[in-house]
Amino acid sequence: MEGLSERQYAARVGLSRGAIQKAKAAGRLVLHDDGSIDAMASDALRAETTDPSKTRKPPQPKLRPVPEVAVTAVGDTLREQGLSALPVGGGTTFLQAKTANEVLKAQERRIRLQKLKSELVDRARAETLMFRLAREERDVWVTWPARVAALMASELTAAVGDGFEVEAAQMQKVLEAHVRAQLESLAEIRPGLG
């Protein structure tokens, strides 16, 4: 055989054998003397004689555009894990997206397991408890000078002696000023739970 059989040519061009037989019967294929199909010449003849509106185009999958936020999230996840990520708008490969998805699923499972083991606490509850603890500690410090001023004044008077006397009211004022200054500096600290 000089050329291709009907089956071979059908496989080459992606058509059924029946479609090749119809094209042969319609004279749209170039044949060798032995009846085999001249592939190159038949391709050219079919391209000239086939109506483009009647040809089947391979179905194109309908792809929706991926939101930029999703691409950014994939890149962020990959970077968090120390993997390379393409810049936003540069496109993300399927492998990168799949890797990011697997990393996120693993992180989610770890968090779920930690919750089941009671290793995680509710953030809002933790913030409320921290605030309450800080307020109670501040209240203790604010009332501390009034409780210890008289005791400190008598100890200083006894220690210095020689007619030197420290007034409890004066001691309390000094202590309160220093305690308030310290509390103000502590108020600038903002605990981060992030």
Q: How confident is the model at residue 21 (pLDDT cuts 50, 70, 90)?
A: very high
Q: What is the pLDDT of residues 113-168, one digit of tens each?
A: 877 777 777 778 888 888 898 888 888 888 888 888 888 888 888 777 777 787 88
Counting every residue, how long is the chain? 194
Contact 89, 70 (CB under 8 A): no
Q: Which residue has the tokens 């408890």?
A: 129
Q: What is the pLDDT of residues 75-115, one digit of tens each?
A: 777 777 777 655 555 556 677 677 777 878 888 888 888 77
Beta carbons within 10 angstroms of residue 162's beta carbon: 4
pLDDT of residue 159: 79
Mean pLDDT value of segment 173-178: 87
- Domain boundary assignment for the chain: 6-54, 68-116, 123-187
What's the one-letter identity of residue 32?
Answer: H
Rounded to 10 degrees, the C-alpha dihedral 141/147/150/155 comes to: -70
Q: How confident is the model at residue 6 (pLDDT cuts 50, 70, 90)?
A: very high
